[in-house]
Amino acid sequence: MGNALRGLEVSDKAVSQGGLNGLVYVTHGQPQLTDQHGEYIPLEVQYYNNGGKEYRATGAKFAYALNTADGGKLPALYPSVLDRVLFPIDDVLTFET
């Protein structure tokens, strides 16, 4: 991935490494959700409503890099390879839906 980015003459490094790529990590559901007693609520029992229909949180994960200075988004990366490709895991911004 780094060679491809350098070939396009755009930043190939994460923000924490002096580059321009911010990493965004999205999870469908809330893995850290707790009840009033501090007990974790498993994703398998987390539901939400949309348009009058009820859906279960899937726990699906999606990550991508965003480089607004160079004018584009990098391709999506699988979370399991994030630390082996370009970005250390501490560059991840987590959003839970």
Q: What are 69-93's pLDDT values in tens digits?
A: 776 444 444 344 443 444 444 444 4
Q: Strand, coil or helix: what is 37? A: coil
Tell me the pTM: 0.55
Count of CB atoms within 10 A of residue 71's CB? Answer: 7
pLDDT score at 37 = 96
pLDDT score at 52 = 92
Strands 92-96 and 72-73 come out as: unpaired
What confidence tens digit (pLDDT) does each residue in 11-43 have?
888 888 888 888 888 888 888 889 999 999 999
pLDDT score at 56 = 92
Domain ranges of the chain: 2-96
How far is residue 42's CA from residue 32's CA, in Å, rounded to a whole number?
9
